[in-house]
Amino acid sequence: MAHYEQPDYVGSPSFSIPRGYLKIALNLLISGTKRIKRNYSFSPDTLENPITRKRVAEMHAEQDETEHRIRVDIFPGILSKPDELAELDIRFTWDDHRPNSYLAVEAKRLRGMVATLAGPYVEEGVMDFINGKYSRGHNYGIMLGYVLSKPIEKAISTVRGALQKRKEKTNETSPFNVDSVVDCPLTYKSVHAQKNDEVTEIIILHVFVDLTS
């Protein structure tokens, strides 16, 4: 049995993330995007982990300048047992919630041309939420798409197509569409039934990050 299939696996309790907390996390991700674009540039072949580490450092710097009551962790490598979190890229937690109740962020690369990487985005990213690898029983999860080459609209449309092609596999209950939870034009959502019970729905927010310039 895989560690994320065990009953006491982190994320297995039912957890409804309050909308206010969700907006704080999303706005922090957006702020991190602005900071990382000011300070770094990336090639189309840059891997996810170096980008994520820089992004989290910028989010921590942003928190030092604000009063966000939210904890941001990066994995693997910070916890004493990082394997217990199934190599989750970023985790948000709040002081007044249980430590195993969290908002998960999975980051994947995308390109606007040639090999867009939309297939792995779904197969190795979205499916981790649906299969219960993390966020089992949670009502929200976040996919972070690092778009490394233009056109960004093509990268997003290929994700839409990849999800449409796999909608039975992903247990899709509401299709990929624009979301307005925060004021960010590159935020979308899709809704899926998690495979642990085929009933519990998780809303996956797709936040696309333009790192092409």
Q: What is the pLDDT of residue 76?
A: 43
User: Over 80: is that where the pLDDT of 191 sits?
Assistant: yes
The model's pTM: 0.86
Say how far apart CA 145 and CA 161 lie, in whole Å.
15
Bridge partners (DSSP) listed for residue 208:
145
User: Over 60: is that where the pLDDT of 75 sits?
Assistant: no
Whole-number average pLDDT of the chain: 84
Q: Which of 60-64, 137-141, 165-169 has the lowest mean pLDDT?
A: 60-64
Bridge partners (DSSP) listed for residue 190:
204
Q: What is the pLDDT of residue 160?
A: 98
Q: b/e map of 173-206 (b: 16 or more CB within 10 Å)?
A: eeebeebeebebebbbbbbbbbbeeeebebbbbb
Chain center to CA of 147? 14
